[in-house]
Chain A
Amino acid sequence: MGSSSSRLDRVPGAKDLMEETGFSETNILCLYDRFEVLDREERGYLRLEDFEAIQQLAVNPIGDRIIGAFVFPGRETLDFPSFVRVLAHFRPTDTTWSRSGSQPEPANSRTRKLRFAFSLYDQDGDGKISRAELTEMLQAMLGMQVTDEQLQSIVGRAIQEADLDRDGAISFDEFKKSVEKVDIDHKMSTRFLR
């Protein structure tokens, strides 16, 4: 595929990215196209507003949080490699990757996927989902019909259910434990990025 490799040349650092994230050439090219589309002003990096301009995100209840996961607070901008690295969380888990490997866990592993999700809950980054954080998240996801009392009750039950060490917050391990029966690979992988 000579043509595609020459196309690949226009993507800076494509080879390294492929190696690092496990994306295929097609994926990288496709993502790069997308990146260029999002980057309206062709600055070579994305800003918060570029994400906010994605219409579908405006109707995603937790869209803003996800944007936040891409554009880290304080960083303001996002270049292509970082863009790809974040998306790498959503590759289906490799079946070939062996647990015993000494290299760091790839981004698409179950733990990393969960970590990503966890960070959306844990907005203050203290490694725990506090009651307030869970409430906030749930509030975003629940219809307006739910009363505050119901909300509180649900939050209470959820925390109580997951909180194994009874500290009133959900740590990452507890979070992981609470969803251990969920098929994370299925839920948190997009088929597009095989």
Chain B
Amino acid sequence: MLLMLLLLLTAGTGTGAGTGAGTGTGAPPLRGPALRSSPPVPASPSASPPLLLLPKPRAEYGAPGVASARSAAEEPAGGGGEEAGEQHHHHGGGFRVVQWEWSYVQTPYIIAIWLLVASVAKILFHFSQRFTTVVPESCMLILLGLVLGGIVLIANKKQLYQLEPALFFLFLLPTIVGDAGYFMPARLFFDNLGAILMYAVVGTLWNAFCTGFSLYAAKLVGVIDERVHADLLDFLLFGALVSAVDPVAVLAVFEEVHVNDTLFIIVFGESLVNDAVTVVLYKVYISFVEVGAENVQTVDYFKGVASFLIVSIGGTLVGLVFAVLLGFITRFTKKVRIIEPLFVFLLVYLAYLTAELFSLSAILSMTFCGIGANKYVEANISQKSRTTVKYTMKTLASIAETIIFIFLGISAVDKTKWAWDTGLVSCTLIFIFIFRAMGVIGQTWVLNRFRLVPLDKIDQVVMSYGGLRGAVAFALVVLLDGEQVRAKDYFVATTIVVVFFTVMFQGLTIKPLVKWLKVPRSTSRKPTINEEIHERAFDHILTAVEDIAGLQGYHHWRDKWEQFDKNYLSKLLLRKSVYRKSELWEAYQKINIRDAISVIDQGGNVLTSARLSLPSMTSRASFPEVTNVTNYLRENGSGVCLDLQVIDNVPGAKVEEDMETHHVLAENLYKPRRRYQSAYSRHFMPLGEKERQDREVFQRNMKSRMETFKSTRHKRHKKERSLKKRRGSDSKEDGNEKPRRNVSWQDKDPVVVPVESEEEKGEHSDPEKEKEEDEGITFVARKAETPKIRPKSVPAALEGCHSPPAAPYSPTSEDSHLPWKGGVGSPPPCVSVEATKIIPVDLQQAWNQSISSLESISSPPAPAEPVHPRVSALSRLGGPRPASYTPPGSLAGSTSSVGAQVAQGSFCFPEKKEEEEEEEEEEEEGALQEMRPLMSSLRPPGAMPPPPQPPPGSAPGSGKRRNPCVYLRSFVTAPPPPPPPPPPPPPGDSRSRGPTQL
């Protein structure tokens, strides 16, 4: 993309230089190597070839009679190129060993330098943390622009670089809009679509008309100077272009202010959409102005309205068409991973250009292309491509934004461009502020009657105050034709002031304002530990309640859309494999549950079951476990993590200081969804924190739910049934089969199999494997296990049904595709790979043992179990030691209660069993009978000799009484002793109590 940009820039240079030189001059044919052609410059902005970085010739050279093309190309070199040019003149003729080819590299060179300056500026800004928290980046960039512009101006007496509309509209704006559209939180956007449209359309029209009329009135009254030659139409035009809230400016400021999501999306969405309104209004007025106010007929007004509709809807449609196209193309890029990201950039950009081509709203087009395609593209392309797309988009947008603001600063320095009229400037400033506020309040009042989430007063204040104007307004005003709009220079000056004022002043003050409004006091006090805990709990409660009450916005049409999406769009736009995967959330849930069940079932023997559970558990990307594996490898044993900070704390092991407690709490308390669901941010990459947390919590919840399931087993069937329903119509056929097949815990596969089998096919048919390289190891590990386990531990009789060892790996292949597994940013993927590598190697023996021991638990002779053949599955479930949910230091009572429940479950269950299970059970029985001799030697029930690597001092029993999380976590660490639950009020505790008591 960047390369393409540069190429285009290069190609355009000829024109650029030509126009620059031409305050009347026809561009002389340029013969510079890079400047192949200099096409004529059309007047219309949308059709004009890129005019870039436009070096204005200095006064002395810039005169009409520029003699040679060579020099014409050289002189505009500007600040940095100054010396260069002179040097070149010294080497007049003859053979030169080293040639000075400035003209050859000029344009890309200048661009690169610009980017460098902008980027370095960013680095510098962020050096001072305190400074950046006070001053928004956009302000600093404008200031930098002012300084740079001043320097160039002083050096050259004339401004060399201007923000040119074509550069802005064809390159800078698309990168920003593309980024915003592609990473737009689509759901939030559509949730608030009504409000966004309202503010964007009605609000902008209101602003435009009111500002225009008021300015005209001010002119009539005489506040605005006579020199401003403008009539009503001109003022309306000006009002239109100055009324648009600018996405760039708003983004830049809001992002740093951290307003709430709703507010953010409304203002941001408004600023994206209202641009369409502004541009349309602008074009309509322009055409009116061209025709002349007196010639405008009534029909034309209707044409204006029609034009508005066509431009915005047309733009949206173009965007959606390209979105479909993009989704469709990425469906087939499996073999050409390397150019996958390119498709994304190209098509999104093409959406923009195409809309521009038909003079439709390019911004809308691009936004909707991004929003629409995101889901499918993200699912289709590989993990690495996703990262590439993300980083490139963010980089480009960030650069573009930087450049825009710097240019704004620079443009402002050039006095020749503008004419000052205090009346006009102050009137405009006042009017846009007042009307913005009035508009917001009025519309909010209307909206609040319909909205479920009313926008409160603070929101309204922030919205009014956040109406920043930016580069769009500036670009539009610069585009005005000075011939027709005679007051252009005044308008330009006023716009610049408006932009500066809104971005600088409002941008600077909005943060304190929000803070002041939002946190009305109570900042002086440090929260107590209790408060910190409870408040977080309250947050979680509220979040959960809102989820339950469905208040995140439930809409009928969204359900309809999702249905449509599932039935048609996804089938068309997603790869087959991916499409199957999209159902995996449910499948994942089920697998998880079953795994947990099976793990708990085998609870009788901590060590073996730990072994057994390993491959499946680790492949599930469960970081807790994985972390523990790593620790196990380090022979560290305790449930610590890799986080250095925490490890630092461990030696002391006592968090004695309040500070540290708070620190730990602050660091580790899960955040409620709304807070970590970070709004769109250009400058900071989310670090996968959300995914990590979700995963952790999800696993815990699943595990703790297992506890419940264990006790009331029959519920599971119902749950699964209900889950199945959720899978929708697609799986109906499966659903009919499943209830029958699903009963036995061993029969884990039914759910998985339909999904898996296709994937398997898909993957095996493709030797290169569609898998991402990152996950290759998982794949291998699984393969390695399969053959070894099956023949040994699973006799032929079991082949009919899905054998237990088969189950654990089957999720693996899918897991590797699960979105939450593939999180790029999440820290421990390397760990998980490591873990997967290790387990198969050292566990094969243990694995086999554990399988057999598992079987033998279920076999009739297994002691101390009330075994009837039909109940065997059950007894396996209930009989073995329940992984009692007893957190360290908690009451022993809960253990027994869980146990009791389990027992109950096992007694009431058999009646509910379905026939097939029984059959399976019987088959198993047979198989087990055959195996028993072998197993009995392997397994003295209850006290399994620790398989390889006997853990020093590990008492299997010690692990039994732990709560399931810890218990499950400990599986991985099994060999090294799970740290005995710290004695409830350990000395550390009493010590920690000490300081406060004093």
Contact = CB atoms under 8 A, between A and B. Distances in A.
Interface of A: 26, 30-31, 33-34, 37-38, 40-41, 47-64, 66-67, 70, 87, 90, 116-117, 120-121, 130-132, 135-150, 152-154, 156-158, 160-162, 175, 178-179, 181-184, 187-194
Nearest to A66: B544
Contact of A144 (B454, B623, B656): B623
Give the bracket for the number of chain B residues in contact with chain A.
Answer: 35 or more
A134 B18 CA distance: 75
A106 to B, nearest CB: 17
Contacts of A189: 542
B982 interface: yes
A179 B982 contact: no
Main secondary structure of the interface of B (DSSP, over half): helix
Nearest to A84: B549
Contact of A135 (B544, B725, B890): B890
B294 to A, nearest CB: 49
B701 A154 contact: no
17 contacts: A40-B722, A49-B715, A51-B548, A59-B673, A61-B700, A120-B537, A120-B541, A135-B890, A141-B670, A143-B696, A144-B623, A144-B639, A146-B664, A147-B640, A152-B889, A154-B529, A154-B661
B898 to A, nearest CB: 13
A31 B533 CA distance: 30
B541 A191 contact: no
Given A160-B993, A192-B452, A149 B654 contact: yes
B655 A154 contact: yes
Contacts of B665: 142, 154
B550 interface: yes
Contact of A152 (B546, B670, B888): B888
Contacts of A116: 541
Contact of B525 (A30, A47, A66, A181): A181
A54 B548 contact: yes
- Choose among B650, B966, B982 the residue with the greatest number of A CB atoms under 10 Å from its CB: B982
Contact of B453 (A33, A53, A55, A191): A191
Interface string B432-474: 0000000000000000000011101000000000000000000
Contacts of B550: 33-34, 37-38
Contact of A34 (B549, B658, B891, B984): B549
Contacts of B889: 131-132, 135, 152
Interface string B697-723: 110111011001000000100110011
Contacts of B719: 49, 52-53
Main secondary structure of the interface of A (DSSP, over half): helix
B528 interface: yes
A93 to B, nearest CB: 14
B865 interface: no
A162 B989 CA distance: 16
Interface in B618-669: 623-624, 627, 638-641, 643, 646, 649-650, 653-656, 658, 661, 664-665, 667-669
Contacts of B529: 154, 157-158, 161
A32 to B, nearest CB: 11
Nearest to B638: A147
B696 A144 contact: yes
Given A59-B697, A149-B653, A153-B654, 19 more contacts: A34-B554, A38-B550, A55-B585, A60-B673, A62-B537, A64-B701, A137-B537, A143-B696, A144-B623, A144-B641, A147-B650, A147-B653, A148-B979, A150-B655, A150-B664, A161-B530, A178-B530, A188-B538, A191-B454
A137 B670 CA distance: 12
B881 to A, nearest CB: 20
Given A49-B722, A66-B544, A194 B454 contact: yes
Sort A-B residue pairs by CB-CB distance and give the 3 closest, nearest first: A132-B890, A34-B550, A143-B668
B981 interface: yes
Nearest to B669: A141
B549 A31 contact: yes
A185 to B, nearest CB: 11
A16 to B, nearest CB: 20
B298 interface: no
B531 A192 contact: no
A181 B535 CA distance: 11
Nearest to B966: A148
A120 B535 CA distance: 13
Given A57-B547, A190-B542, A41 B670 contact: no
B979 to A, nearest CB: 7
B725 A40 contact: yes
A183 B719 CA distance: 38
Nearest to A189: B542
Contact of A179 (B534, B654, B700): B534
A57 B548 contact: yes
Contacts of A59: 673, 693-694, 697-698, 701
Given A132-B887, A143-B670, A60 B982 contact: no
B704 A56 contact: no
B698 A149 contact: no
B44 interface: no
Interface string B975-991: 00001011011101100
Contacts of B704: 64
Contacts of B678: none
Contact of A158 (B452, B530, B669): B530
Given A147-B639, A161-B530, A190-B545, A50 B537 contact: no
B705 A64 contact: yes
Interface in B485-537: 522, 525, 528-531, 533-537
A62 B541 contact: yes
Given A141-B536, A179-B535, A193 B551 contact: yes
A146 to B, nearest CB: 5
Given A58-B702, A147-B638, A131 B984 contact: yes
A58 B708 CA distance: 15
- Choose among B533, B719, B725 the residue with the greatest number of A CB atoms under 10 Å from its CB: B533
Contact of A141 (B528, B540, B549, B585): B540
Given A41-B722, A193-B551, A58 B698 contact: yes
A147 B664 CA distance: 10
B539 interface: yes
A145 B670 CA distance: 11
A117 B887 contact: no
Contacts of A188: 538, 541-542
Contact of B993 (A34, A60, A156, A181): A156
Contact of B531 (A141, A181, A191, A194): A181
A114 to B, nearest CB: 9
- Choose among B550, B552, B641, B965 the residue with the greatest number of A CB atoms under 10 Å from its CB: B550
A31 to B, nearest CB: 6
A146 B646 contact: yes
B722 A53 contact: yes
A157 B544 contact: no
Contacts of A154: 529, 533, 655, 661, 664-665
B668 A142 contact: yes
- Choose among A59, A87, A144, A189 the residue with the greatest number of B CB atoms under 10 Å from its CB: A144
B544 A153 contact: no
Contacts of B702: 58
Interface in B288-332: none
Contacts of A47: 718
Contact of A148 (B554, B673, B982): B982
B887 A152 contact: no
Contacts of B535: 179, 182, 187
Contacts of A192: 452-453, 546, 549, 551
B543 interface: yes
B991 to A, nearest CB: 9
A117 B702 CA distance: 22
A181 to B, nearest CB: 7
Given A49-B722, A149-B653, A178 B986 contact: no
B627 A144 contact: yes
